[in-house]
Structure 1
Protein backbone atom coordinates (compact mmCIF):
# COMPACT_ATOMS: atom_id res chain seq x y z
CA UNK A 1 0.00 0.00 0.00
CA UNK A 2 2.84 2.31 0.91
CA UNK A 3 4.56 1.39 -2.34
CA UNK A 4 1.42 2.26 -4.32
CA UNK A 5 1.09 5.61 -2.50
CA UNK A 6 4.74 6.39 -3.17
CA UNK A 7 4.34 5.61 -6.90
CA UNK A 8 1.24 7.78 -7.08
CA UNK A 9 3.09 10.68 -5.46
CA UNK A 10 6.06 10.20 -7.80
CA UNK A 11 3.78 10.14 -10.82
CA UNK A 12 2.12 13.36 -9.65
CA UNK A 13 5.50 15.04 -9.21
CA UNK A 14 6.61 13.95 -12.66
CA UNK A 15 3.37 15.27 -14.15
CA UNK A 16 3.89 18.64 -12.44
CA UNK A 17 7.47 18.76 -13.77
CA UNK A 18 6.32 18.00 -17.30
CA UNK A 19 3.62 20.67 -17.16
CA UNK A 20 6.07 23.20 -15.74
CA UNK A 21 8.56 22.29 -18.44
CA UNK A 22 5.95 22.73 -21.14
CA UNK A 23 4.95 26.10 -19.71
CA UNK A 24 8.59 27.18 -19.61
CA UNK A 25 9.17 26.09 -23.21
CA UNK A 26 6.00 27.81 -24.28
CA UNK A 27 7.19 31.04 -22.72
CA UNK A 28 10.60 30.56 -24.34
CA UNK A 29 9.06 30.09 -27.76
CA UNK A 30 7.25 33.40 -27.40
CA UNK A 31 10.65 35.08 -26.98
CA UNK A 32 12.03 33.87 -30.28
CA UNK A 33 11.98 35.96 -33.41
CA UNK A 34 13.19 35.52 -36.98
CA UNK A 35 14.71 38.45 -38.87
CA UNK A 36 15.05 38.21 -42.65
CA UNK A 37 17.57 40.33 -44.53
CA UNK A 38 19.49 40.61 -47.78
CA UNK A 39 23.28 40.48 -47.80
CA UNK A 40 23.75 44.15 -48.58
CA UNK A 41 26.28 45.84 -46.33
CA UNK A 42 23.58 48.32 -45.26
CA UNK A 43 21.12 45.58 -44.28
CA UNK A 44 23.78 43.52 -42.52
CA UNK A 45 24.45 46.60 -40.38
CA UNK A 46 20.83 47.45 -39.58
CA UNK A 47 19.68 43.88 -38.97
CA UNK A 48 22.54 43.17 -36.57
CA UNK A 49 21.78 46.34 -34.61
CA UNK A 50 18.13 45.27 -34.33
CA UNK A 51 19.24 41.78 -33.29
CA UNK A 52 21.50 43.22 -30.59
CA UNK A 53 18.66 45.29 -29.10
CA UNK A 54 16.15 42.44 -29.25
CA UNK A 55 18.53 40.04 -27.51
CA UNK A 56 20.26 42.28 -24.98
CA UNK A 57 17.41 44.65 -24.09
CA UNK A 58 14.25 42.59 -24.66
CA UNK A 59 15.46 39.04 -23.98
CA UNK A 60 14.67 37.51 -27.37
CA UNK A 61 16.54 34.72 -29.07
CA UNK A 62 16.97 36.00 -32.63
CA UNK A 63 17.37 33.83 -35.71
CA UNK A 64 18.92 35.59 -38.69
CA UNK A 65 17.70 34.53 -42.13
CA UNK A 66 20.01 35.75 -44.92
CA UNK A 67 18.13 35.42 -48.21
CA UNK A 68 17.65 37.20 -51.52
CA UNK A 69 15.04 39.95 -51.82
CA UNK A 70 12.29 37.73 -53.23
CA UNK A 71 12.45 35.09 -50.47
CA UNK A 72 12.74 37.86 -47.87
CA UNK A 73 9.41 39.36 -48.90
CA UNK A 74 7.86 35.90 -49.34
CA UNK A 75 8.98 34.87 -45.84
CA UNK A 76 7.39 37.90 -44.18
CA UNK A 77 4.22 37.47 -46.23
CA UNK A 78 3.73 33.77 -45.45
CA UNK A 79 4.76 34.14 -41.79
CA UNK A 80 7.91 31.99 -41.95
CA UNK A 81 9.87 35.11 -40.96
CA UNK A 82 8.74 37.70 -38.44
CA UNK A 83 10.30 40.96 -39.54
CA UNK A 84 12.78 42.78 -41.72
CA UNK A 85 14.28 46.26 -41.64
CA UNK A 86 15.39 46.05 -45.27
CA UNK A 87 12.49 47.12 -47.50
CA UNK A 88 13.66 49.73 -50.03
CA UNK A 89 10.66 51.80 -51.08
CA UNK A 90 8.95 53.11 -53.08
CA UNK A 91 10.95 52.02 -56.16
CA UNK A 92 13.52 49.27 -55.53
CA UNK A 93 11.13 46.74 -53.97
CA UNK A 94 7.98 47.97 -55.68
CA UNK A 95 7.40 44.66 -57.49
CA UNK A 96 7.38 42.76 -54.17
CA UNK A 97 4.95 45.19 -52.58
CA UNK A 98 2.61 44.67 -55.51
CA UNK A 99 3.02 40.89 -55.43
CA UNK A 100 2.39 40.47 -51.68
CA UNK A 101 0.03 43.37 -51.07
CA UNK A 102 -2.24 42.71 -48.08
CA UNK A 103 -0.02 39.95 -46.68
CA UNK A 104 2.37 42.01 -44.56
CA UNK A 105 2.38 45.11 -42.34
CA UNK A 106 4.53 48.11 -43.26
CA UNK A 107 5.65 49.99 -40.13
CA UNK A 108 7.04 52.86 -42.18
CA UNK A 109 10.56 54.16 -42.78
CA UNK A 110 13.45 53.43 -40.43
CA UNK A 111 15.93 55.40 -42.55
CA UNK A 112 15.43 58.35 -44.90
CA UNK A 113 17.48 59.47 -47.88
CA UNK A 114 18.66 56.36 -49.68
CA UNK A 115 19.52 56.18 -53.35
CA UNK A 116 20.25 53.54 -55.98
CA UNK A 117 21.69 53.71 -59.47
CA UNK A 118 24.76 53.14 -61.61
CA UNK A 119 28.00 54.19 -59.96
CA UNK A 120 31.46 54.93 -61.38
CA UNK A 121 34.71 56.28 -59.90
CA UNK A 122 34.90 60.07 -60.02
CA UNK A 123 37.96 59.92 -62.28
CA UNK A 124 35.86 58.56 -65.17
CA UNK A 125 34.86 61.38 -67.52
CA UNK A 126 31.17 60.52 -67.83
CA UNK A 127 28.11 62.08 -66.24
CA UNK A 128 25.00 60.25 -67.42
CA UNK A 129 23.71 56.76 -68.16
CA UNK A 130 22.88 57.79 -71.71
CA UNK A 131 26.60 58.35 -72.34
CA UNK A 132 27.53 54.73 -71.64
CA UNK A 133 27.60 53.67 -75.27
CA UNK A 134 30.48 56.07 -75.88
CA UNK A 135 34.11 55.34 -75.08
CA UNK A 136 33.34 54.17 -71.52
CA UNK A 137 31.50 51.12 -72.82
CA UNK A 138 34.45 49.77 -74.73
CA UNK A 139 36.80 50.46 -71.81
CA UNK A 140 34.74 48.26 -69.46
CA UNK A 141 33.92 45.61 -72.08
CA UNK A 142 30.30 46.80 -72.05
CA UNK A 143 29.79 45.16 -68.65
CA UNK A 144 28.01 46.47 -65.55
CA UNK A 145 29.03 44.67 -62.36
CA UNK A 146 25.83 43.83 -60.50
CA UNK A 147 24.82 42.16 -57.27
CA UNK A 148 22.51 39.27 -56.33
CA UNK A 149 19.98 38.20 -58.98
CA UNK A 150 16.44 39.13 -58.02
CA UNK A 151 17.47 42.26 -56.13
CA UNK A 152 15.29 45.27 -56.88
CA UNK A 153 18.39 47.16 -57.96
CA UNK A 154 19.09 44.48 -60.55
CA UNK A 155 15.52 44.67 -61.87
CA UNK A 156 15.86 48.45 -62.24
CA UNK A 157 19.17 48.02 -64.06
CA UNK A 158 17.63 45.54 -66.49
CA UNK A 159 15.00 48.18 -67.22
CA UNK A 160 17.74 50.78 -67.66
CA UNK A 161 19.39 48.62 -70.31
CA UNK A 162 16.14 48.71 -72.28
CA UNK A 163 15.14 52.31 -71.65
CA UNK A 164 18.57 53.70 -72.54
CA UNK A 165 19.06 51.47 -75.59
CA UNK A 166 21.96 49.57 -74.04
CA UNK A 167 20.58 46.06 -74.38
CA UNK A 168 22.31 45.16 -77.66
CA UNK A 169 25.83 45.85 -76.40
CA UNK A 170 25.78 45.78 -72.62
CA UNK A 171 25.71 42.90 -70.13
CA UNK A 172 24.58 43.10 -66.51
CA UNK A 173 26.80 40.66 -64.64
CA UNK A 174 25.08 38.89 -61.75
CA UNK A 175 27.30 38.79 -58.70
CA UNK A 176 26.95 39.64 -55.01
CA UNK A 177 27.29 42.85 -53.07
CA UNK A 178 30.60 41.63 -51.61
CA UNK A 179 32.00 40.61 -54.99
CA UNK A 180 30.86 43.88 -56.56
CA UNK A 181 32.69 45.97 -53.96
CA UNK A 182 35.81 43.84 -54.33
CA UNK A 183 35.85 44.45 -58.08
CA UNK A 184 35.20 48.15 -57.54
CA UNK A 185 37.99 48.50 -54.98
CA UNK A 186 40.43 46.67 -57.23
CA UNK A 187 39.61 48.88 -60.23
CA UNK A 188 39.73 52.00 -58.07
CA UNK A 189 43.15 51.12 -56.65
CA UNK A 190 44.46 50.77 -60.21
CA UNK A 191 42.56 53.83 -61.47
CA UNK A 192 40.78 51.66 -64.03
CA UNK A 193 37.29 52.24 -65.47
CA UNK A 194 34.38 50.28 -64.00
CA UNK A 195 30.58 50.58 -63.83
CA UNK A 196 28.69 49.00 -60.91
CA UNK A 197 25.22 48.92 -59.44
CA UNK A 198 25.37 50.98 -56.26
CA UNK A 199 23.36 52.38 -53.39
CA UNK A 200 23.66 54.66 -50.41
CA UNK A 201 24.13 54.42 -47.52
CA UNK A 202 27.21 52.30 -48.25
CA UNK A 203 30.74 52.36 -46.88
CA UNK A 204 32.24 52.42 -50.39
CA UNK A 205 31.32 56.11 -50.72
CA UNK A 206 33.35 56.86 -47.59
CA UNK A 207 36.34 54.87 -48.79
CA UNK A 208 36.38 55.91 -52.47
CA UNK A 209 35.59 59.01 -54.51
CA UNK A 210 32.56 57.79 -56.46
CA UNK A 211 29.61 59.32 -58.29
CA UNK A 212 26.18 58.29 -59.50
CA UNK A 213 25.51 58.56 -63.21
CA UNK A 214 22.63 60.91 -63.92
CA UNK A 215 19.39 59.11 -64.69
CA UNK A 216 17.36 61.48 -66.94
CA UNK A 217 14.73 58.81 -67.60
CA UNK A 218 14.28 58.33 -63.82
CA UNK A 219 14.51 54.54 -64.06
CA UNK A 220 15.90 54.28 -60.53
CA UNK A 221 13.50 56.81 -59.03
CA UNK A 222 14.55 59.55 -56.66
CA UNK A 223 15.56 59.38 -53.02
CA UNK A 224 14.10 56.35 -51.27
CA UNK A 225 13.47 55.13 -47.75
CA UNK A 226 14.23 51.87 -45.99
CA UNK A 227 11.10 50.53 -44.28
CA UNK A 228 10.48 48.08 -41.47
CA UNK A 229 8.06 45.34 -42.53
CA UNK A 230 6.61 42.65 -40.26
CA UNK A 231 4.36 39.65 -40.64
CA UNK A 232 0.70 39.95 -39.90
CA UNK A 233 -0.09 39.09 -36.27
CA UNK A 234 3.30 40.04 -34.82
CA UNK A 235 1.73 42.82 -32.74
CA UNK A 236 -0.51 40.30 -30.95
CA UNK A 237 2.16 37.61 -30.61
CA UNK A 238 5.15 39.73 -29.55
CA UNK A 239 3.96 43.15 -28.49
CA UNK A 240 7.30 44.36 -27.07
CA UNK A 241 9.26 43.36 -30.18
CA UNK A 242 6.61 44.96 -32.37
CA UNK A 243 6.72 48.20 -30.37
CA UNK A 244 10.52 48.40 -30.68
CA UNK A 245 10.48 47.64 -34.41
CA UNK A 246 7.82 50.29 -34.89
CA UNK A 247 10.07 52.90 -33.25
CA UNK A 248 13.38 51.78 -34.78
CA UNK A 249 14.73 54.71 -36.76
CA UNK A 250 18.24 55.96 -37.46
CA UNK A 251 20.28 58.04 -39.91
CA UNK A 252 22.56 57.25 -42.85
CA UNK A 253 25.49 58.39 -40.67
CA UNK A 254 24.47 55.91 -37.95
CA UNK A 255 24.34 53.10 -40.48
CA UNK A 256 27.62 54.13 -42.09
CA UNK A 257 29.37 54.01 -38.72
CA UNK A 258 28.43 50.34 -38.33
CA UNK A 259 29.24 49.47 -41.95
CA UNK A 260 32.71 51.02 -41.78
CA UNK A 261 33.55 49.11 -38.59
CA UNK A 262 32.54 45.87 -40.32
CA UNK A 263 34.51 46.75 -43.43
CA UNK A 264 37.57 47.47 -41.28
CA UNK A 265 37.50 44.03 -39.72
CA UNK A 266 34.97 43.84 -36.92
CA UNK A 267 32.33 41.14 -37.08
CA UNK A 268 28.78 42.40 -37.68
CA UNK A 269 27.90 41.37 -34.13
CA UNK A 270 30.85 43.29 -32.63
CA UNK A 271 30.12 46.40 -34.69
CA UNK A 272 26.43 46.33 -33.75
CA UNK A 273 27.20 45.85 -30.06
CA UNK A 274 29.68 48.75 -30.09
CA UNK A 275 27.15 51.04 -31.79
CA UNK A 276 24.35 50.12 -29.38
CA UNK A 277 26.61 50.76 -26.37
CA UNK A 278 27.76 54.11 -27.80
CA UNK A 279 24.22 55.27 -28.62
CA UNK A 280 22.31 54.46 -25.46
CA UNK A 281 20.04 57.50 -25.76
CA UNK A 282 18.78 56.47 -29.21
CA UNK A 283 18.28 52.87 -28.12
CA UNK A 284 16.39 53.98 -24.99
CA UNK A 285 14.08 56.08 -27.17
CA UNK A 286 13.31 53.03 -29.30
CA UNK A 287 12.35 51.09 -26.17
CA UNK A 288 10.41 53.80 -24.37
CA UNK A 289 6.72 53.08 -23.71
Structure 2
Protein backbone atom coordinates (compact mmCIF):
# COMPACT_ATOMS: atom_id res chain seq x y z
CA UNK A 1 0.00 0.00 0.00
CA UNK A 2 2.80 2.38 0.86
CA UNK A 3 4.43 1.88 -2.54
CA UNK A 4 1.09 2.45 -4.29
CA UNK A 5 0.52 5.68 -2.31
CA UNK A 6 3.99 6.98 -3.19
CA UNK A 7 3.40 6.28 -6.88
CA UNK A 8 0.10 8.22 -6.79
CA UNK A 9 1.74 11.23 -5.05
CA UNK A 10 4.66 11.30 -7.49
CA UNK A 11 2.26 11.09 -10.44
CA UNK A 12 0.24 14.02 -9.08
CA UNK A 13 3.37 16.12 -8.54
CA UNK A 14 4.60 15.44 -12.06
CA UNK A 15 1.18 16.38 -13.48
CA UNK A 16 1.17 19.68 -11.59
CA UNK A 17 4.72 20.46 -12.73
CA UNK A 18 3.91 19.70 -16.38
CA UNK A 19 0.72 21.78 -16.22
CA UNK A 20 2.73 24.72 -14.88
CA UNK A 21 5.25 24.42 -17.69
CA UNK A 22 2.51 24.31 -20.32
CA UNK A 23 0.73 27.30 -18.80
CA UNK A 24 3.95 29.29 -18.79
CA UNK A 25 4.92 28.36 -22.33
CA UNK A 26 1.55 29.15 -23.96
CA UNK A 27 1.39 32.59 -22.35
CA UNK A 28 -1.76 31.88 -20.29
CA UNK A 29 0.14 32.92 -17.20
CA UNK A 30 1.73 36.03 -18.81
CA UNK A 31 2.88 38.60 -16.26
CA UNK A 32 2.42 41.49 -18.72
CA UNK A 33 6.10 42.10 -19.32
CA UNK A 34 5.69 41.57 -23.09
CA UNK A 35 4.08 44.83 -24.20
CA UNK A 36 2.31 45.15 -27.50
CA UNK A 37 4.52 46.66 -30.18
CA UNK A 38 3.55 50.23 -31.10
CA UNK A 39 2.49 51.04 -34.67
CA UNK A 40 4.58 52.79 -37.29
CA UNK A 41 3.65 56.46 -37.76
CA UNK A 42 4.22 58.41 -40.98
CA UNK A 43 4.86 62.15 -41.16
CA UNK A 44 4.03 64.11 -44.27
CA UNK A 45 6.86 66.49 -45.09
CA UNK A 46 6.63 69.27 -47.65
CA UNK A 47 9.84 70.71 -49.16
CA UNK A 48 9.45 73.96 -47.19
CA UNK A 49 12.22 74.80 -44.76
CA UNK A 50 9.65 75.56 -42.03
CA UNK A 51 8.46 71.94 -42.08
CA UNK A 52 11.82 70.36 -41.25
CA UNK A 53 12.54 71.36 -37.60
CA UNK A 54 9.13 70.51 -36.09
CA UNK A 55 8.97 67.24 -38.04
CA UNK A 56 12.43 66.16 -36.89
CA UNK A 57 11.71 67.09 -33.26
CA UNK A 58 8.38 65.27 -33.15
CA UNK A 59 9.90 62.27 -34.94
CA UNK A 60 12.68 61.94 -32.36
CA UNK A 61 10.29 62.29 -29.42
CA UNK A 62 7.93 59.66 -30.80
CA UNK A 63 10.82 57.29 -31.47
CA UNK A 64 11.88 57.76 -27.87
CA UNK A 65 8.30 56.83 -26.91
CA UNK A 66 8.71 53.52 -28.74
CA UNK A 67 7.24 54.28 -32.16
CA UNK A 68 8.77 53.53 -35.51
CA UNK A 69 8.55 56.70 -37.57
CA UNK A 70 8.72 57.34 -41.30
CA UNK A 71 8.79 60.55 -43.34
CA UNK A 72 7.04 60.92 -46.68
CA UNK A 73 8.13 63.98 -48.65
CA UNK A 74 5.68 65.37 -51.17
CA UNK A 75 3.89 68.55 -52.17
CA UNK A 76 1.01 69.73 -50.00
CA UNK A 77 -1.75 68.22 -52.14
CA UNK A 78 -0.18 64.77 -51.97
CA UNK A 79 0.39 65.12 -48.21
CA UNK A 80 -3.29 65.87 -47.66
CA UNK A 81 -4.30 62.99 -49.92
CA UNK A 82 -2.18 60.76 -47.71
CA UNK A 83 -3.72 62.23 -44.55
CA UNK A 84 -7.15 61.64 -46.00
CA UNK A 85 -6.67 57.93 -46.67
CA UNK A 86 -4.47 57.23 -43.64
CA UNK A 87 -1.20 56.61 -45.49
CA UNK A 88 0.09 59.73 -43.71
CA UNK A 89 -0.69 60.12 -39.99
CA UNK A 90 0.72 63.54 -39.11
CA UNK A 91 1.65 66.84 -40.77
CA UNK A 92 3.41 69.48 -38.65
CA UNK A 93 3.14 72.56 -40.90
CA UNK A 94 -0.47 73.33 -41.85
CA UNK A 95 -0.98 77.08 -42.39
CA UNK A 96 -4.25 78.96 -42.04
CA UNK A 97 -5.71 80.70 -43.93
CA UNK A 98 -3.49 79.73 -46.89
CA UNK A 99 -4.13 75.98 -46.75
CA UNK A 100 -7.66 76.06 -45.37
CA UNK A 101 -9.31 74.62 -48.48
CA UNK A 102 -7.21 71.47 -48.18
CA UNK A 103 -8.58 70.90 -44.68
CA UNK A 104 -12.13 71.71 -45.74
CA UNK A 105 -11.95 69.22 -48.61
CA UNK A 106 -10.75 66.49 -46.23
CA UNK A 107 -12.62 67.44 -43.04
CA UNK A 108 -14.15 63.97 -42.70
CA UNK A 109 -10.75 62.37 -42.21
CA UNK A 110 -8.27 65.11 -41.21
CA UNK A 111 -8.38 67.32 -38.12
CA UNK A 112 -6.37 70.04 -36.39
CA UNK A 113 -4.61 68.60 -33.36
CA UNK A 114 -2.79 71.64 -31.96
CA UNK A 115 -1.36 75.08 -32.73
CA UNK A 116 2.39 75.40 -33.22
CA UNK A 117 2.52 79.19 -33.29
CA UNK A 118 0.50 82.24 -34.26
CA UNK A 119 1.25 85.52 -36.05
CA UNK A 120 3.36 84.04 -38.83
CA UNK A 121 3.74 87.07 -41.10
CA UNK A 122 4.16 86.82 -44.86
CA UNK A 123 3.91 88.95 -47.99
CA UNK A 124 6.10 90.95 -50.35
CA UNK A 125 9.59 91.71 -49.07
CA UNK A 126 12.52 93.90 -50.12
CA UNK A 127 16.11 94.40 -48.90
CA UNK A 128 16.45 96.78 -45.97
CA UNK A 129 18.66 99.06 -48.06
CA UNK A 130 15.53 99.98 -50.06
CA UNK A 131 14.84 102.56 -47.35
CA UNK A 132 12.06 104.41 -49.20
CA UNK A 133 10.04 101.24 -49.78
CA UNK A 134 8.20 100.15 -46.65
CA UNK A 135 4.68 99.52 -47.95
CA UNK A 136 3.52 97.75 -51.11
CA UNK A 137 2.20 101.11 -52.30
CA UNK A 138 5.73 102.54 -52.18
CA UNK A 139 6.62 100.35 -55.19
CA UNK A 140 4.43 102.49 -57.47
CA UNK A 141 6.66 104.24 -59.97
CA UNK A 142 9.65 102.10 -59.00
CA UNK A 143 8.61 98.92 -60.80
CA UNK A 144 11.36 99.15 -63.44
CA UNK A 145 14.04 99.20 -60.73
CA UNK A 146 13.03 95.64 -59.78
CA UNK A 147 12.72 94.47 -63.40
CA UNK A 148 8.92 94.72 -63.06
CA UNK A 149 9.01 91.40 -61.18
CA UNK A 150 7.88 89.98 -57.87
CA UNK A 151 9.86 86.79 -57.31
CA UNK A 152 7.80 83.99 -55.77
CA UNK A 153 7.64 80.27 -55.08
CA UNK A 154 5.61 77.78 -57.17
CA UNK A 155 2.38 79.14 -58.61
CA UNK A 156 0.53 76.05 -57.39
CA UNK A 157 1.28 76.97 -53.78
CA UNK A 158 -1.80 78.68 -52.28
CA UNK A 159 0.46 80.99 -50.28
CA UNK A 160 1.22 83.11 -53.35
CA UNK A 161 -2.38 83.73 -54.40
CA UNK A 162 -2.40 87.21 -52.82
CA UNK A 163 0.55 88.48 -54.86
CA UNK A 164 -1.37 89.06 -58.13
CA UNK A 165 -4.21 90.56 -56.08
CA UNK A 166 -1.80 93.03 -54.47
CA UNK A 167 -0.30 93.93 -57.86
CA UNK A 168 -3.79 94.68 -59.18
CA UNK A 169 -4.91 96.52 -56.03
CA UNK A 170 -1.95 98.90 -56.16
CA UNK A 171 -1.99 99.08 -59.97
CA UNK A 172 1.64 98.06 -60.17
CA UNK A 173 3.37 97.43 -63.50
CA UNK A 174 4.73 94.11 -62.27
CA UNK A 175 4.22 90.40 -62.73
CA UNK A 176 4.72 87.45 -60.43
CA UNK A 177 7.64 85.23 -61.46
CA UNK A 178 7.33 81.73 -60.02
CA UNK A 179 9.98 79.12 -59.30
CA UNK A 180 11.05 76.83 -56.48
CA UNK A 181 11.88 78.26 -53.07
CA UNK A 182 15.59 77.63 -53.65
CA UNK A 183 15.56 79.25 -57.09
CA UNK A 184 13.64 82.28 -55.82
CA UNK A 185 16.11 82.81 -52.98
CA UNK A 186 19.11 82.31 -55.26
CA UNK A 187 17.80 84.93 -57.70
CA UNK A 188 17.10 87.36 -54.86
CA UNK A 189 20.52 86.79 -53.30
CA UNK A 190 22.25 87.46 -56.62
CA UNK A 191 20.64 90.91 -56.79
CA UNK A 192 21.10 91.66 -53.11
CA UNK A 193 24.81 90.82 -53.29
CA UNK A 194 25.06 93.56 -55.92
CA UNK A 195 22.91 95.93 -53.83
CA UNK A 196 20.25 95.98 -56.53
CA UNK A 197 16.54 96.49 -55.75
CA UNK A 198 14.44 93.31 -55.71
CA UNK A 199 10.98 92.21 -54.60
CA UNK A 200 10.38 88.68 -53.40
CA UNK A 201 7.84 86.64 -51.52
CA UNK A 202 8.78 86.35 -47.86
CA UNK A 203 7.34 84.53 -44.88
CA UNK A 204 8.26 83.78 -41.32
CA UNK A 205 9.68 81.61 -39.94
CA UNK A 206 12.50 81.51 -42.48
CA UNK A 207 16.24 82.07 -42.51
CA UNK A 208 15.93 84.54 -45.41
CA UNK A 209 15.45 87.36 -42.91
CA UNK A 210 18.82 86.62 -41.36
CA UNK A 211 20.72 85.66 -44.49
CA UNK A 212 19.38 88.27 -46.91
CA UNK A 213 18.65 91.08 -44.43
CA UNK A 214 15.20 91.78 -45.85
CA UNK A 215 12.00 93.30 -44.49
CA UNK A 216 8.32 92.55 -45.07
CA UNK A 217 6.31 95.39 -46.58
CA UNK A 218 3.17 96.65 -44.91
CA UNK A 219 -0.07 96.55 -46.84
CA UNK A 220 -2.04 99.59 -45.73
CA UNK A 221 -4.32 99.91 -48.75
CA UNK A 222 -5.41 96.27 -48.73
CA UNK A 223 -5.08 94.90 -45.17
CA UNK A 224 -7.18 91.85 -46.08
CA UNK A 225 -4.26 90.60 -48.19
CA UNK A 226 -1.28 88.83 -46.60
CA UNK A 227 -3.04 88.52 -43.24
CA UNK A 228 -0.98 86.84 -40.51
CA UNK A 229 -1.11 83.07 -40.42
CA UNK A 230 -1.53 80.49 -37.69
CA UNK A 231 0.42 77.25 -38.05
CA UNK A 232 -1.10 73.99 -36.83
CA UNK A 233 -0.38 70.29 -36.48
CA UNK A 234 -2.95 68.19 -38.34
CA UNK A 235 -3.48 64.45 -38.28
CA UNK A 236 -5.60 61.65 -39.69
CA UNK A 237 -8.64 61.22 -37.45
CA UNK A 238 -7.64 57.65 -36.63
CA UNK A 239 -4.44 58.73 -34.87
CA UNK A 240 -6.02 59.13 -31.43
CA UNK A 241 -7.19 55.52 -31.40
CA UNK A 242 -4.11 54.16 -33.18
CA UNK A 243 -1.54 55.89 -30.98
CA UNK A 244 -3.16 57.58 -27.97
CA UNK A 245 0.04 58.69 -26.23
CA UNK A 246 1.45 60.07 -29.49
CA UNK A 247 -1.81 61.94 -29.99
CA UNK A 248 -1.60 63.33 -26.46
CA UNK A 249 1.94 64.59 -27.09
CA UNK A 250 0.96 66.24 -30.38
CA UNK A 251 -2.21 67.76 -28.90
CA UNK A 252 0.03 69.64 -26.43
CA UNK A 253 2.58 70.65 -29.08
CA UNK A 254 3.76 74.25 -29.38
CA UNK A 255 6.97 76.00 -30.41
CA UNK A 256 8.01 79.59 -31.00
CA UNK A 257 8.61 81.19 -34.38
CA UNK A 258 12.01 82.34 -33.15
CA UNK A 259 13.05 78.80 -32.25
CA UNK A 260 11.94 77.51 -35.66
CA UNK A 261 13.76 80.33 -37.44
CA UNK A 262 16.97 79.74 -35.47
CA UNK A 263 16.91 76.05 -36.38
CA UNK A 264 16.21 76.76 -40.05
CA UNK A 265 19.20 79.10 -40.13
CA UNK A 266 21.48 76.45 -38.61
CA UNK A 267 20.28 73.83 -41.09
CA UNK A 268 20.75 76.24 -44.00
CA UNK A 269 24.33 76.77 -42.83
CA UNK A 270 25.03 73.04 -43.10
CA UNK A 271 24.08 71.63 -39.71
CA UNK A 272 22.52 68.17 -39.73
CA UNK A 273 18.73 68.55 -39.18
CA UNK A 274 18.71 65.55 -36.83
CA UNK A 275 21.43 67.12 -34.69
CA UNK A 276 19.70 70.50 -34.66
CA UNK A 277 16.46 68.85 -33.54
CA UNK A 278 18.22 66.86 -30.82
CA UNK A 279 19.88 70.01 -29.47
CA UNK A 280 16.47 71.70 -29.20
CA UNK A 281 15.08 68.65 -27.39
CA UNK A 282 18.03 68.59 -24.98
CA UNK A 283 17.56 72.29 -24.22
CA UNK A 284 13.77 72.00 -23.81
CA UNK A 285 13.30 68.71 -22.00
CA UNK A 286 10.92 70.23 -19.44
CA UNK A 287 8.71 71.44 -22.27
CA UNK A 288 8.87 68.04 -23.98
CA UNK A 289 7.88 66.31 -20.75
CA UNK A 290 4.97 68.71 -20.32
CA UNK A 291 3.77 68.02 -23.87
CA UNK A 292 4.02 64.28 -23.19
CA UNK A 293 2.20 64.74 -19.89
CA UNK A 294 4.97 63.14 -17.86
CA UNK A 295 5.68 65.93 -15.40
TM-score range, shorter chain: 0.7 to 0.9
Partner of 2:155: 149
CA contact (8 A) 1:76 1:82 kept: yes
What is the alpha-carbon distance in structure 1 between the residues aligned to residue 80 and residue 161 of structure 2? 15
Query: Do residues 111 (structure 1) and 117 (structure 2) align?
Result: yes
Query: Do residues 59 (structure 1) and 66 (structure 2) align?
Result: yes
Partner of 1:84: 91
The match for 2:78 among 71, 75, 78 is 71
3-state SS of paired residue (2:114): strand
The match for 1:183 among 170, 184, 187 is 187
The match for 2:44 among 36, 56, 69 is 36
Residue 79 of structure 1: CA displacement? 2.0
**Gapped regions of structure 2 (runs ≥ 5):** 1-25, 27-33
Once the two structures are overlaid, the 10-residue window that deviates more, 153-162 or 232-241, is 153-162
Once the two structures are overlaid, the 10-residue window that deviates more, 141-150 or 232-241, is 141-150
Residue 232 of structure 1: CA displacement? 1.2
Query: Do residues 98 (structure 1) and 92 (structure 2) align?
Result: no
Residue 224 of structure 1: CA displacement? 2.0
Query: Do residues 253 (structure 1) and 258 (structure 2) align?
Result: yes
What is the alpha-carbon distance in structure 2 between the residues aligned to residue 53 and residue 184 of structure 1? 36
TM-score, structure 2 as length reference:
0.80
Partner of 1:212: 216
Count residues in correspondence.
Answer: 259
Residue 219 of structure 1: CA displacement? 4.3
CA contact (8 A) 1:105 1:230 kept: yes
3-state SS of paired residue (2:121): strand
What is the alpha-carbon distance in structure 2 between the residues aligned to residue 159 and residue 110 of structure 1? 28
Residues 80, 200 of structure 1: alpha-carbon distance in 2 compared, 3 angstrom cutoff: same
Larger Rg: 2
CA contact (8 A) 2:151 2:201 kept: yes
Per-residue CA deviation, residues 160-204 of structure 1 (Å, 9 max, x unaligned), is 3344334xx432222222222222333222211111111111122
Residue 112 of structure 1: CA displacement? 2.0
CA contact (8 A) 1:153 1:197 kept: no
- Aligned CA RMSD, in angstroms, stands at 2.2
Residue 221 of structure 1: CA displacement? 4.1
The match for 2:286 among 267, 273, 281 is 281
Per-residue CA deviation, residues 129-156 of structure 1 (Å, 9 max, x unaligned), is 2343422x21222111111332221222
Partner of 1:126: 133
The match for 1:241 among 236, 246, 249 is 246
Residue 41 of structure 1: CA displacement? 1.4
What is the alpha-carbon distance in structure 1 between the residues aligned to residue 260 and residue 138 of structure 2? 32
Partner of 1:3: none
TM-score, structure 1 as length reference:
0.82
Query: Do residues 47 (structure 1) and 55 (structure 2) align?
Result: yes
**Gapped regions of structure 1 (runs ≥ 5):** 1-15, 17-23
